[in-house]
Amino acid sequence: MDHEELQAVRARYDREMRRGARPDSARARVERAGAVVRQTAPGDGWNGVLWSDLDEGTADAAIAAQVAYFAERGVSAFEWKLYGHDRPADLGERLRTAGFTPEPAETLLVGRADELASLPVEPPEGITLRPVTDEAGVDLMMQVHAGAFGTDRPGIRQLLLSLLEDEPETVAAVLAMAGDTPVSAARMEMRPGSSFAGLWGGGTLPQWRGRGIYRLLVAHRARIAAERGIPYLQVDASEDSRPILERLGFGVLGMTVPWVWTAPAG
């Protein structure tokens, strides 16, 4: 995509996925509170700010209002999803002053589903793909994620179980198997009416990297999105996955940093 097209796609992404965001599960709620769009979710679900329209005169009060809102509901932590083109330009520093901590920056990438679906990809020798449709499959995904990322992700487990139970048509989760051993896992979320399918959680065990499994899982999910008429795939890419995705044809829409507020102990 050229620069002009990427700018148009970014505006579309902001309009659909942030300002007009839909809940990431049937058990979550998205609402607009003044110049902020936020999601609240029960249990280990994702809580946070998806979009804001602020300036130097309104930012600090809006930040304080969101901290108060989530704190009053007993939320232990919530995320302010900050994008590089958000305003004011110093919003990140204002979040820091308010007690938020930044997580590693990610690159917002987008690719055309139909082009990615046609990638000439064959499974590496000994690898087969297995759709995830039940709790046992989700637990295998969590096993892969723990090995690939070094962390447990109870919120992702809860989200996947909720989606598979309540809205199975909105998620496509898949395992790459070496015999009976799961070695890679990924999912795609497809909110109704959206032009973007989100690729999430792509992780491969260290000893299985460099064999084309990640590329295989991207192409697999792209085919599903293209068959459903979804034009774009979107990824919040780490520094490890960004170069792979750019080589596959993804374009950069910008940078994003998750700023996390954690409730004080006690």
The pLDDT tens digits for 87-129 are 999 999 999 999 999 999 999 999 999 999 998 888 899 999 9
Residue whose token pair is 């998620």? 171
In CATH terms, 3-107+256-262 corresponds, of 3.40.630, 3.40.50, 1.10.3470, 1.10.10, to: 3.40.630
Residue whose token pair is 């055309």? 112
* pLDDT for 213: 95
Asked whether the beta carbons of 134 and 163 are under 8 A apart, the reply is no
Tell me the Cα Rg of the chain: 19
Same fold, 3-107+256-262 and 111-253: yes
Percent residues over pLDDT 70 in the chain = 100
Q: Give the model's confidence band at 266: pLDDT under 50 very low, under 70 low, under 90 confident, else very high.
A: low
Kindly tell me if the per-residue pLDDT of 2 is higher than 90.
no
Ordered by start, the domain boundaries in the chain are 3-107+256-262, 111-253
Which has the higher per-residue pLDDT, 105 or 1? 105
Q: Give the model's confidence band at 153: pLDDT under 50 very low, under 70 low, under 90 confident, else very high.
A: confident
CA-CA-CA-CA torsion for 84, 86, 87, 92, nearest 10 degrees? Answer: -60
Kindly tell me if the per-residue pLDDT of 151 is higher than 90.
no
* pLDDT for 257: 98
* pLDDT for 22: 94
Cβ contacts of 196 within 8 Å, gap of 6 or more = 13, 16, 17, 110, 230, 232, 233, 234
Q: Give the model's confidence band at 68: pLDDT under 50 very low, under 70 low, under 90 confident, else very high.
A: very high
Tell me how far CA of residue 177 lies from CA of 32, 107, 117, 171, 230, in angstroms: 42, 28, 21, 19, 27
Q: What's the average model confidence in pLDDT over 231-258?
A: 95
Q: What's the average model confidence in pLDDT over 56-72?
A: 98
Average pLDDT, the chain: 95
Give pTM, 2 decimals: 0.92
Kindly tell me if the per-residue pLDDT of 205 is higher than 80.
yes
* pLDDT for 223: 97
* pLDDT for 240: 86
> What is the β-pairing status of strands 232-237 and 106-112?
antiparallel
Homologous superfamily, domain 111-253: Gcn5-related N-acetyltransferase (GNAT) (3.40.630.30)
* pLDDT for 59: 98
Q: Give the model's confidence band at 6: pLDDT under 50 very low, under 70 low, under 90 confident, else very high.
A: very high
